[in-house]
Structure 1
Amino acid sequence: MSGAGLTESYIRVANMDLYCEYLLNDKPPILLIHGFASSIYTFRRIIPLLMEQFSVISVDLPGFGKSEKSNSFVYSFENYAKVMLEFIQTFNLSSTHIVAHSMGGQIALHMARLAPEKVNKLILLCSSGYLKRAKKLLIYSSYLPFFDRMVYYYIHRKDVKDYLHNVFFNKELICEEMIDEFSRPLAEKRFYKSLIRLLRHREGDLLPKQLQKIDVPTLIIWGEEDRVVPLHVGKQLVKDLPNAQLITYEKTGHLITEERPEPIFQNILTHVM
């Protein structure tokens, strides 16, 4: 999805090749972290706006997008956070702002928990929260032969367009390019093995007592019609995070970066400047 002025590159971090797109200048750095089964593409409509005010760094998480689907990486949120902290060090950044969507919100929160000095401001977009770890029976089942085929058939029980309908309020924004982009990883066999490892390794989301120790200034932005991560999660996060505020948008779903790019950009500017 590379836009004008962005550099596309693979960077070796934690023995994995991570795909990223970035623009480095003399402006404050901002790191973009996408959510589950997504990629840098999530931010395609706000990156051009952010480029006017920030050094922008976006990355496909291990197991997703164009990044490596490692068979040895432990796909826990804490490990994702450690990889992201190592990733920003490759750009010689002492700290950065972070914009994180959905599952990426848990990764960003872990980064703030592990290394608060590395995170200036947090912006959480429809962040996942309060999910428990997968049930033991499902985790044990993931070791069965051909479980990846079961995952494949489970995911393909619906069309990609059906999944997109679930993350949008305004269905008219769904286009063929978007369908193609979200369909692409579903054709990769290694993608399903990464999903299985994420199922096994993903710890439960941060507990309230852990969130209450994260003092990084945090802006939480939510779509009021979010059917993937309901608004009540955002309302609970703003209670548990000691230095947070919540902004919501009517007639907006889970993929808020597609539906409200300009307002989100203005929210980010107000929060970090």
Structure 2
Amino acid sequence: PLASLGFALLPKRWLIRTAMRAVVASDDVVTEQRVAGYARPMQSRARRAAYLRCARAIIPTDLDRLVARIPEIDVPALCLWGDRDPVVPLAGGRRLAAELPRGRLEVLERCGHQVVEERPNASATVLREFLTGPEGPYAGGSPPAAAEGPDSPSGS
């Protein structure tokens, strides 16, 4: 209830900017364009309500049961992590990759929780290598072409 009230009353861009700064390795990533992109859907009351429902449900009530089943995931799995992730520290990524039978951990330096936003080109390179690697769905081939975009300020 209190979170809903704060979310309704506080300026959306301020909330988004503050939340983004809390999870990235460098404030350079928190551009007005990105803040505006995240703020746009928040202009609708129904969308704000949906966002809050999702945020409240991010940790499932049966988390322990789900975590216990991680070793059953027997497919190639890429764990892409930022070395400065304040939300789920790197130790969590190491543990997850170790518990996945075919898990692979890739760590991006100078990167927080929003790996793809902070280091888009480096993320794309790692993902492409994973997808076209020996166990990937495009082994020996090429995945569909990626959309081109500007480098992040942190230098992918």
Normalised by the size of structure 1, how large is the TM-score?
0.41
1:200, distance to aligned residue in structure 2 (A): 6.0
* Aligned residue among 29, 40, 43 for 1:173: 29
Moved over 4 A (4+): none
Unaligned runs of 5+ in 1: 1-146
CA contact (8 A) 1:217 1:243 kept: yes
* Structure 1 vs Structure 2 CA RMSD: 2.6
Change (3 A) 1:200 1:264: closer
Which of 110, 118, 129 is matched with 1:259 structurally? Answer: 118
- Answering whether residue 96 of structure 2 is matched by residue 237 of structure 1, we say yes
Q: Which runs of 5+ in 2 are unaligned?
A: 133-156
Counterparts in 2 of 1:139-150, with a 5 A limit?
147=1, 150=3
What is the alpha-carbon distance in structure 2 between the residues aligned to residue 272 and residue 260 of structure 1?
18
Q: Secondary structure at the match of 2:72?
A: coil
Q: Distance in 2 between matches of 1:165 and 1:252?
A: 12
Measure how far apart 1:182 and its partner are: 1.4
| Percentage identity across paired residues of the two chains | 24
How many pairs align? 126
Matched to 2:94, the amino acid is: K
CA distance in structure 2 between the partners assigned to 1:263 and 1:170 by the alignment:
16
Contact kept, 8 Å, 1:152 with 1:192, in 2: the verdict is no
1:198-225 deviation line (CA, Å, top 9, x unaligned):
4369444463321110101011110011
Residue 230 of structure 1, CA deviation: 1.6
Q: What amino acid maps onto 1:207 in structure 2?
A: L
Which of 94, 105, 119 in structure 2 is aligned with 1:246?
Answer: 105
Q: Which has the higher strand share?
A: 1
Q: Which has the higher helix share?
A: 2
Tell me the CA shift for residue 153 of structure 1.
0.9
Structure 2 counterpart of 1:191: 47
Could you tell me which amino acid in structure 2 is paired with residue 209 of structure 1?
Answer: A
Kindly state the Cα deviation for residue 193 of structure 1 after the two structures are TM-superposed: 2.7
TM-score (norm 2): 0.68
**What amino acid sits opposite 2:92 in the alignment?**
V
